[in-house]
Structure 1
Amino acid sequence: MTRFTKYSFAAISILFLSGSCSLFEPINAKKKVKVTDSTPPGTLMLTENLYIDRVPVTNFMYQEFLDHLENYWSLTKHEKMKDLPRYGLDKNLVFKPQTGSRRLFREASLQNPQEMLTNKLSMENYYNSPFFQSHPVVNVAKKQAELFCLWRSDIVNAVYAIKSNSATQRERYPNKVLYRLPTEREMIKAQNKLERELKLLKYQGQIYAYTGDSALFSKMQDNTDQMTIMEIKEIGKNKTYNSLLNRNLSYYNQQELKTGFRCICEVVNN
């Protein structure tokens, strides 16, 4: 499978460490994402200890995950990262080359690149084309989504430790974050809350076509004040559900909905 060589997770992480962008912001984005130190990257606050992804995980995000599996992260390393210091962490311990897992990389990679997403677009072209980098990654299995959440938890906690040179600096960030798949009930509560606060954006238009507006999908990521739901199904902790829940579909019908996912983030204080 061909993957973006222009973007690497190491490059994204370095930018995040310097405060130049959020963890998952494309490095060619014109608009910088501004979030507080206490807000986990890419999320919107629901409660004091619960945050949710503003957008479904994108092709770009998933590419970074795969790059890390291939080069920097494994389940063995996951166990070792539990014992890393909470501040003053040497980034070379986290982003050390050749510490990935080829097995996990293969398992998490696109299984059938030639599968047609539409009658004009293959999975490989959708997944690899720069035009679709901010579009939701689809056709991912629950096991892959859960692995993504585990990896993301490790990296975000490590980045906090790398950015902090002292215990005082470390206090600016959450004590510990845990990314996981949301339950349908959590999604319902999140949508109800955010809709009341005018922070819920419903995108019901064409997703898988070159005739669409690719810049619009980047803007959805850049918008730190809203959560976007789309006409896709999302993998949840207990079931796969239509992310629009009880809302009527406008562009696709039920049989045409593809499956993606987003993460919910718990802040652990002890």
Structure 2
Amino acid sequence: MTFMKNIILSIALVFLSSMLFAQQDSLKELKMSPPGTVWLHDNIYIDMVLVTNADYSDFLYTVADYYSPETQKEIQNIPLYNLKWKKFFENLYQIGPDEKYLKQIELDYFKHLSWTNDSDKMFSYFDSEEYAYHPVINVSYEQANEYCKWRTDMVKLAYSMNTKNKKQRAFFYTNFQYRLPTQKEWEEAYAVYEVEGTAFTHPIFTQDVEWFMYTPGNVSEMLLEKGKAIGLSWNDEITKDDLLKIKTYKTPSDWLGFRCVCEILEN
């Protein structure tokens, strides 16, 4: 039950964080930006920062506890507001975890990091507090997409749990999905928002961030098109002419991370 309380608290905090960022939609109705994002254009919002080890760890914890393809179906049927969360989560816990799904989204914790000369392994990078807010790496395209699905569901839960009536719910979008960005979307965000200076692999500081941040020399970022990534990573030579460099990949890599966009699907 302690873990369940922590999950409820984390969802509530996600909900509260969304209150910080507001945009006007095309109908001039006030809507709050989806958590973690900044408005890009029309119906597209983009993550301000990369997905971190801490973010992906939250995903793994919920999958180990109750989240699965089966519970995804239950979440699709929740009310838009005033969710009776205690009973709902009791039902999710009765369904239980899906061990096969957990194995699909777990990272290779014993994979060596190619930027070190010692015996550091993936587990020390992923599970250490020191690297909690560094970008998650060695994630496959399929795992990144599953994270996006999970994040969509968690935000829907947060909205349903923390709004009590139709009037409160009207401040938040009802039909949306998180996904990987297209090349065009990523390049537009780069053109519109400020870009950080070059740096070696370093943490992603999420506090006081209010715009799209890209740090050449950190990690390259997955795009919606499978096998394609954009941006310079720690193993690239940093040149101004190559800041929007397109790269290809076939397997999870320690120079590759990702961020999400949130696409609003309602009219």
- Please say whether Structure 1 and Structure 2 have the same fold, judged by a TM-score greater than 0.5: yes
Instruction: Measure, in 1, the Cα distance between the counterparts of 2:185 and 2:110.
Output: 33
Flag structure 1 segments of 5+ consecutive residues without an equivalent: 24-32, 195-199, 209-213
Alignment of 1:105-144 (within 5 A): 105-117=102-114, 118-120=116-118, 121-144=120-143
Q: 1:112 to 1:141 in 2, by over 3 A?
A: same
Matches within 5 A, 1:48-59: 48-59=42-53
Question: Counterpart in 2 of 1:102?
Answer: 99
- Aligned position for 1:89: 83
Q: Please tell me whether residue 43 in structure 1 is matched to residue 41 in structure 2.
A: no
The answer to whether the Cα contact below 8 Å between 2:179 and 2:262 also exists between their aligned partners in 1 is yes
The Cα RMSD (Å) is 2.8
Task: After superposition, give the CA deviation of every residue in 1:21-55 in whole Å (9 maximum; x if it has no partner).
Answer: x38xxxxxxxxx93346111111111242100111
Task: State how many pairs are aligned.
Answer: 235
Shift of 1:240: 2.4
Find the aligned partners of 2:138 and 2:183 in 1 and give their Cα distance. Answer: 19
* 1:24-39 mapped onto 2 (5 Å cutoff): 34-36=20-22, 38-39=32-33
C-alpha deviation, 1:94, in angstroms:
4.6
The 10-residue stretch of structure 1 (116-125 or 41-50) with the greater mean CA deviation from structure 2:
116-125
Q: Report the alpha carbon displacement of residue 157 of structure 1 after superposing the two structures with TM.
A: 1.2
1:240 aligns to 2:228 (yes or no): yes
Taking structure 1 as the reference length, what is the TM-score of the superposition?
0.77
Flag the 1:204–1:101 CA change in 2: closer, same or farther, 3 A: farther
Question: Does the C-alpha gap of structure 1 residues 9 and 235 become closer, same or farther in structure 2, counting only changes over 3 Å?
Answer: farther
CA pair 61-170 structure 1, distance change in 2 beyond 3 A: same
Query: In the alignment, residue 188 of structure 2 is paired with which amino acid?
Result: K
Q: What secondary structure does 2:209 align onto?
A: coil
Percent identity between the aligned chains?
Answer: 26
Give the corresponding residue for 1:222: 207
Find the counterpart in structure 1 of residue 244 from structure 2.
Answer: none
Deviation at 1:183, TM superposition (A): 1.2
* Unpaired runs of at least 5, structure 2: 23-30, 240-246
TM-score by length of 2: 0.78
